[in-house]
Amino acid sequence: MADLNYVAEKFHVAVHCLVSDKPLQQRVYNAYMSFHPIKVEDFKNESELQEAYKQIMDSLTVVEGAPGEGRVPATIKQMSDSDAAKLIDSILSFTFLVDAERRSQGY
């Protein structure tokens, strides 16, 4: 099980990255950079968090990058504003989900 305080910290930083005047794709990338150390496997006993996080990561790794370019930068580079906005909503929802789980566990 992931340390939910650590996850919450990473995602609260991500939320701050999302609140800016930068293009949506840059906001998504900056948010990703704050939470990328978290792995789906960190949520072994929390299937709802595991699935929600997997969906976020799957959305960020759709495009195969050119040599020397990772999947996340390649995916974000080709992401429409609409898709970026949907991903931002997913990141925000996940942050609220983590906070709710922390409260239920007495954090």
- Nearest-angstrom CA–CA distance, 87 and 84: 5
Indicate the domain borders of the chain.
4-104
48-76 pLDDT, tens digit per residue, is 999 999 999 999 999 998 999 999 999 99
For range 81-107, the mean pLDDT: 95
* Amino acid type, 18: L
Residue 3, φ and ψ in degrees, nearest 5: -75, 105
The model scores a pTM over 0.95: no
Q: Say if residue 87 is exposed, middle or buried (CB neighbours under 10 Å; 0-12, 13-18, 19+).
A: buried
- Nearest-angstrom CA–CA distance, 63 and 13: 25
Residue 19, φ and ψ in degrees, nearest 5: -100, 90
Q: Say if residue 57 is exposed, middle or buried (CB neighbours under 10 Å; 0-12, 13-18, 19+).
A: middle
pLDDT at 2: 64
For range 17-34, the mean pLDDT: 97
pLDDT at 25: 98
pLDDT at 3: 87
